[in-house]
Chains A and B, each alone.
Chain A
Amino acid sequence: MHHNLLKALLISDFNIENLAGLLNNSDELPVIDAVCGPYGQLMPILINGEHPAWKQKPEILVVWTRPEAISETFRRLINFERVLHAKVLEEVDEFCVPLSRAAKNVKTLFIMAWQIPTSFRGYGFLEWRKGIGLRQLVMQMNLRMAENLNEVDNVLILDSFKWAEKSGKSAFQPKAWYLGKIPFGNEVFKWAVQDIKTALSALSGRSKKIIIVDLDDTLWGGVLGDLGWENLILGGHDPVGESFVDFQRSLKAISQRGVVIGIVSKNDENIALEAIEKHPEMVLRKNNFAGWRINWDDKAKNIIELVTHLNLGLDSVVFIDDNPVERARVRQALPEVYVAELPEDNLLYKNFIQDLSCFDTPKMTEEDRERTKMYVMERKRNELKIEVQSIEGWLRSLETKVKLAPFQKEDSPRILQLINKTNQMNLSTRRLAESELINWINQTGHKMWSCRVGDKFGDSGLTGIISLEIKGRDAQIVDFLLSCRVIGRRVEETLIWTAADYAIKQGLLKIYAKHIPTPKNMPCLEFFKKSGFLFNQDSDAFVWELKQPYPYPQSVQIEMS
Chain B
Amino acid sequence: MVKVEHEKVIQILFKAIDEVNLQLPRAKNLKKSKDLILTGENSELDSLALVNLIVATEQKIEESFENSVPLAGEHWGSSQTSPFRTIESLAEYIRQTLEKKLNAS
Contacts and interface: CB of A to CB of B under 8 A. Distances in A.
Contacts of A170: 59
A179 interface: yes
A180 B56 CA distance: 13
A186 B48 contact: no
Given A173-B55, A179-B72, A186-B56, A22 B48 contact: no
B103 interface: no
Interface stretch (A13-21, A229-237, A270-278, A517-525): A13-21
B96 interface: no
A354 interface: no
Given A24-B25, A25-B22, A179-B72, A17 B48 contact: yes
A175 interface: yes
B25 A179 contact: no
A40 to B, nearest CB: 16
Given A21-B25, A25-B22, 12 more contacts: A17-B48, A18-B23, A18-B48, A21-B23, A170-B59, A175-B55, A176-B51, A176-B52, A179-B55, A179-B72, A180-B51, A186-B56
12 contacts: A17-B23, A18-B48, A21-B22, A25-B22, A25-B23, A176-B51, A176-B52, A178-B72, A185-B55, A186-B23, A186-B52, A186-B55
A15 B55 CA distance: 15
Interface in B75-101: none
Report which residue of A170, A179, A182, A190 has the largest number of chain B beta carbons within 10 angstroms of its beta carbon: A179
Contacts of A18: 23, 48, 52
A180 B22 contact: no
Interface string A173-193: 101101110100110001000
B22 A175 contact: no
B25 A176 contact: no
What 8 pairs between A and B have smallest CB-CB spacing? A21-B23, A180-B51, A179-B51, A175-B72, A176-B55, A18-B23, A17-B48, A22-B23
B44 interface: no
Interface of A: 15, 17-18, 20-22, 24-25, 170, 173, 175-176, 178-180, 182, 185-186, 190
Contact of A186 (B22, B54, B58, B72): B22
Interface of B: 19, 22-26, 47-48, 51-52, 54-56, 58-59, 72
A194 to B, nearest CB: 13
Contacts, number: 47
Interface of A is mostly: helix
Nearest to B71: A175
Report which residue of A20, A24, A176 has the largest number of chain B beta carbons within 10 angstroms of its beta carbon: A176
A37 to B, nearest CB: 16
Contacts of B22: 21-22, 25, 186, 190
Contacts of A15: 48
Given A21-B24, A175-B58, A186 B19 contact: yes
B80 to A, nearest CB: 23
A208 to B, nearest CB: 26
B103 to A, nearest CB: 26
Contacts of A185: 55, 59
Nearest to A26: B22
Contacts of B47: 180
A185 to B, nearest CB: 8
Contacts of A22: 22-23
Given A17-B48, A179-B51, A180-B51, A25 B56 contact: no
A391 B72 CA distance: 75
A280 B18 CA distance: 52
A15 B25 CA distance: 17
A173 B59 CA distance: 10
Contacts of B59: 170, 185
A319 B47 CA distance: 44
A492 to B, nearest CB: 46
A182 B55 CA distance: 11
A25 B21 CA distance: 9
A76 B58 CA distance: 33
Nearest to A189: B23
A459 B23 CA distance: 50
Contacts of B54: 175, 179
B26 to A, nearest CB: 7
Nearest to A21: B23
A1 B27 CA distance: 16
Nearest to B58: A175
Nearest to B70: A175
Nearest to A173: B55
A180 B72 CA distance: 11
Contacts of A186: 19, 22-23, 52, 55-56
A186 B56 CA distance: 9
A179 B25 CA distance: 21
Nearest to A19: B23
Nearest to A193: B22
Contacts of B26: 25
Nearest to A175: B72
Nearest to A182: B51
A164 to B, nearest CB: 16
A461 B25 CA distance: 47
A351 B20 CA distance: 31
Contacts of A175: 54-55, 58, 72
A259 to B, nearest CB: 31
A394 B66 CA distance: 72
A39 to B, nearest CB: 11
Contacts of B19: 186
Contacts of A182: 51
A73 B97 CA distance: 44
A18 B21 CA distance: 11
Nearest to B72: A175
Nearest to B25: A24
A178 B55 CA distance: 11
A400 B24 CA distance: 57
